[in-house]
Copies of this chain bind each other. A is one copy, B any other.
Amino acid sequence: MAREAGTSRSTASRALSGQGYVAAHIREDVLAAAQRIGYVPDALARTLKAQRSNVVGLLVSDLRNQFYAELAAGVEQALRAAGYQMVLVDDHGDPQQELDGAKAFVAMRATGVVLTPAAAAATELLVERGVSVVEADRRSGARGCDSVIIDSEYGAREATRHLLELGHRRIALLIDETKWATGAERLRGYRAAHRAADVPLDRRLVLDLEFQAADARSRVAELLDQHPDVTAIFAVNNLMAETAWLELRRRGLAVPRDVSLVSFDDLAWMRMVEPGLTAVAQPTYDMGRRAAELLLGRVAEREAAAESKRGPGRRRIQETLEPTLVLRGSTAAPAASPTGA
């Protein structure tokens, strides 16, 4: 390539990068030559030299779930706007695969990683290796990383409060991971709303699917069989809402007449069905964008510090985005005489 331009490699490098002195006409020549032979600088070699890549990793739990796809789209958008590339790994919510993904990211010297943690190990590994990390949607509890999440407790509380205010007293909760993070917060919100309304909790109405989504449908059926006095269901994510919706329909139960239904996470289909689903809408795309922005900010900061200024490295940033309860037709006051009582 330098040969094509009839100059030395250094000069060519300077001409292309715009760094350092180079005669105007020489630059022309070089640019023309580059154009001619379709020269594209090797980002790898540049990274090796500069010790800083422009790739950022994204680790999500399930790309086929619209929620994560939306998140990924937001991250990609912000990243690409800033000239970064996104390497995407789908760990299927498996801590082991998550860890493998994290290792792959350090192997490829990713500048930073955005992830929806399934465990703390991945974040810890990354942070220890000096990779900037931003957790999204969940917080693993690992130290040294920023995070941006949705206020799950608030969202769950609002959804539950809405049902309680309508007069529901037997509200089933469909949830999938109560030990931790998002799941725990939503459970807390559900409880807090009950407490605030002075309505007693019934543990048997809380269906914790843990990690087995496989038999979700039958577990829901079982719960409805055992507790025919349930007048409302709060599904803690879009998958659960889907399961609940299908099961209610299979049983021929009318929504909201027989049972009211609320979803946490508002997808397009929820306004397509009749009645539309009342749902807690999350700014998912924005959460992705914000996570990427935080990451980029951190990277810039770190570079400035390395450059010279001895930046003290600000405290971790923990952002919380507010969800919104969207009222649609799937929630109404319970029938005067409950189905089962």
> A interface vs B, CB < 8 Å?
38, 40-45, 47-48, 53, 55, 63-64, 66, 69-70, 72-73, 76-77, 80, 85-90, 103-104, 106-109, 128-129, 242, 245-246, 249, 267-269, 272-274, 285
Smallest CB separation, A68 vs chain B (Å): 8
Q: Are B272 and A272 in contact (CB-based, < 8 A)?
A: yes
Q: Are B87 and A85 in contact (CB-based, < 8 A)?
A: yes
Q: Please give, as numbers and ranges, the residues of chain B lying within 8 Å of A85 by CB-CB distance.
A: 87, 89, 104, 108
Q: A69-B66, A109-B44 are in contact. Are A128 and B38 (CB under 8 A)?
A: yes
Pick from B63, B86, B106: contact of A69, CB under 8 Å: B63
Q: Please give, as numbers and ranges, the residues of chain B lying within 8 Å of A106 by CB-CB distance.
A: 40
Listed by A's residue number, 19 A-B pairs whose Cβ atoms lie within 8 Å are A43-B107, A43-B109, A44-B44, A44-B48, A44-B53, A45-B48, A64-B69, A64-B73, A69-B69, A76-B90, A85-B87, A86-B87, A86-B89, A242-B268, A246-B272, A249-B274, A267-B269, A272-B273, A274-B274
Bound: A77/B90 CA distance, A = 8
Chief secondary structure at chain A's binding surface: helix
Bound: A85/B87 CA distance, A = 7
Q: Are B242 and A272 in contact (CB-based, < 8 A)?
A: yes
Pick from B55, B63, B128: contact of A72, CB under 8 Å: B63
Q: How many copies does the complex hold?
A: 2
Q: Are A40 and B86 in contact (CB-based, < 8 A)?
A: no
Bound: A274/B249 CA distance, A = 10
Smallest CB separation, A86 vs chain B (Å): 6
Bound: A106/B40 CA distance, A = 7
Q: Are A40 and B80 in contact (CB-based, < 8 A)?
A: no
Smallest CB separation, A207 vs chain B (Å): 20
Pick from B88, B89, B269: contact of A269, CB under 8 Å: B269
Given contacts A43-B104, A66-B66, A273-B273, 9 further A-B contacts (CB under 8 A): A38-B128, A40-B129, A41-B107, A45-B48, A64-B285, A85-B89, A85-B104, A267-B269, A272-B272
Q: A40-B103, A129-B40, A272-B273 are in contact. Are A73 and B90 (CB under 8 A)?
A: yes
Pick from B89, B103, B245: contact of A76, CB under 8 Å: B89
Residue of B nearest to A108 (CB): B43
Q: A55-B87, A66-B66, A90-B76 are in contact. Are A42 and B269 (CB under 8 A)?
A: no
Q: Are B43 and A63 in contact (CB-based, < 8 A)?
A: no
Q: Please give, as numbers and ranges, the residues of chain B lying within 8 Å of A108 by CB-CB distance.
A: 43-44, 55, 85
Q: Which 5 residue pairs are nearest across A and B when measured between Cβ atoms? A: A269-B269, A69-B69, A63-B73, A43-B107, A43-B108
Q: Are B40 and A107 in contact (CB-based, < 8 A)?
A: yes
Smallest CB separation, A5 vs chain B (Å): 19
Bound: A76/B89 CA distance, A = 7
Q: A85-B104, A129-B38 are in contact. Are A272 and B269 (CB under 8 A)?
A: yes
Q: A43-B109, A45-B48 are in contact. Are A272 and B245 (CB under 8 A)?
A: yes
Smallest CB separation, A77 vs chain B (Å): 7
